[in-house]
Amino acid sequence: MRGMGMAKAAQNKVAAPTKGAPPRRSPKKQPYVLEDQIGFVLRQVWQRHAAIFAREIGINLTPTQWAALAKLTETGPCSQNQLGRLTAMDVATIKGVIDRLTARGLTETSSDPQDGRRLLVSLTRAGQAMAEKAAPSALAISKETLAPLDAKERDIFVTLLNKLR
């Protein structure tokens, strides 16, 4: 018993530095520098992109409204829930987006012929025309957002961003 206590004391004892050896230092804590954090940098890049979008889209659309119009152009009619998933918007956000687009006459809802309980969202003629009009501007916005990068850097950057999804 007594030997156990001495062994335990020996385990808990911190070894003294040997003569001539530098004193042990606790590892330095890395300072949190906001400008070095990925979330901060991504937010700044998003703000730059959003400013380019607002300046160049050419029509009164938000990025989320454009995403909904573009995806409906691509997929055709779909449920609001599915559209939200396809555009990475939560239920409340996609509902607000569709409500605003519908109020502007750009989208409409109709019963799903395969499931009468579900509503399908689709583009109106005006919505289709707006999406066709905005598409070249949207492509130019993406190009301008990535303009500081050369072609190889753009490919790598987009590949890496997709990997982080």
Task: Read off the pLDDT band of 28 (50, 70, 90).
Answer: confident
Q: Is 161 part of a structural domain of the chain?
A: no
pLDDT higher for 25 or 77? 77
Backbone phi, psi, residue 94, to 5°:
-65, -35
pLDDT given at position 3: 52
Q: Is 21 part of a structural domain of the chain?
A: no
Q: How many domains does the chain have?
A: 1
Any idea what the CATH number is for the domain that residue 81 is in?
1.10.10.10
Backbone phi, psi, residue 135, to 5°:
-55, -50
Backbone phi, psi, residue 122, to 5°:
-145, 165
Q: Which domain covers residue 114, as residue numbers?
A: 59-145
Q: Is 157 part of a structural domain of the chain?
A: no
pLDDT given at position 23: 67
Q: Are 109 and 102 in contact (CB under 8 A)?
A: yes
